[in-house]
């Protein structure tokens, strides 16, 4: 196989790893892309509606904006619906103890492999769990790229569980009732930053 060709299409976060690692990342990246077009049935409490939560990778603009609104923050970060892990890895680079929760097993395996291959990301954990049973309390920073149907229930969950001085960063859809402390961008790239004060 032509390694140069493979390296040309490698994901950005794998720059510091071996050629074997690059091949693995490339191979699993192919799987992640294949899985991405499948809709995942997503149980939304309390109404038990099924919501299609397609995997749409975060764009560089979105990553930059998430990084921007997290400036000055530290501690633990959770990415809800972590997809291929790129938000978690961006946060890890910024010094957060960053974890992801994701329902799609292939994306979880892909993220774990990418984390294992890169020393910079090795402390990141990826949980294959349903968000609605996942404990948000340990995290003082939460990022969510949601779908509209889940934002109301997510807002309730985060207000109930999160500690004082937790920052919530929402992309694509805002939290329906809370007032953001900062809004960056417009359209699908909009980022809303919220602060939970208790």
Ligand X SMILES: *[C@@H]1O[C@H](CO)[C@@H](O)[C@H](O)[C@H]1NC(C)=O
Q: Which residues bind ligand X (CB under 6 A)?
A: 160-161, 164-165, 197-198
Q: Is the Cβ of residue 71 or residue 198 nearer to ligand X in the bound state? A: 198
Q: Is the Cβ of residue 73 or residue 125 nearer to ligand X in the bound state? A: 73
Q: Is the Cβ of residue 160 or residue 186 nearer to ligand X in the bound state? A: 160
Rounded least distance, CB 75 to ligand X, Å: 11
Residue 133 to residues 12, 63, 101, 136: CA-CA distances in angstroms?
32, 27, 11, 9
Percent of the chain that is helix, strand, coil (3-state, to 5): 40, 20, 40
CA distance 21 to 107: 17
Rounded least distance, CB 149 to ligand X, Å: 18
Rounded least distance, CB 194 to ligand X, Å: 14
Query: Does residue 34 sit in helix, strand or coil?
Result: helix
C-alpha angle 173-79-124 in degrees, rounded to nearest 5: 165
Q: Is the Cβ of residue 106 or residue 194 nearer to ligand X in the bound state? A: 194
- Show Cβ contacts of residue 132 under 8 Å, excluding neighbours closer than 6 positions: 43, 44, 45, 153, 157
Rounded least distance, CB 157 to ligand X, Å: 7
Residue 83 to residues 71, 105, 152, 164, 190: CA-CA distances in angstroms?
23, 10, 21, 27, 18
Rounded least distance, CB 134 to ligand X, Å: 11
Q: Is the Cβ of residue 109 or residue 134 nearer to ligand X in the bound state? A: 134
């Amino acid at each position: 196989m032509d390694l140069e060709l493979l390296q040309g299409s490698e994901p950005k976060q794998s720059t510091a790893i071996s050629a074997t690692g690059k091949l693995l990342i490339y191979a699993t990246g192919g799987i992640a892309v294949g899985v991405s077009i499948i809709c995942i049935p997503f149980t939304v409490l309390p109404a038990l509606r099924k919501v299609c939560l397609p995997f749409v990778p975060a764009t560089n603009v979105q990553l930059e904006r998430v990084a921007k609104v997290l400036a000055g923050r530290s501690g633990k970060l959770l990415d809800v619906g972590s997809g291929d892990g790129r938000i978690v890895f961006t946060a890890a680079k910024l010094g957060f103890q960053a974890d992801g929760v994701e329902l799609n097993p292939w994306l979880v395996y892909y993220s774990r492999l990418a984390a294992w291959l890169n020393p910079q990301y090795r402390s990141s954990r990826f949980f294959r769990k349903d968000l609605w049973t996942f404990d948000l309390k340990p995290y003082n920073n939460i990022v969510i790229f949601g779908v509209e149907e889940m934002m109301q229930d997510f807002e309730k969950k985060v207000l109930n569980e999160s500690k004082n001085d937790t920052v919530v960063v929402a992309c694509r859809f805002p939290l329906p009732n809370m007032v953001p402390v900062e809004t960056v961008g417009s359209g699908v790239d909009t980022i809303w930053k919220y602060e939970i004060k208790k």
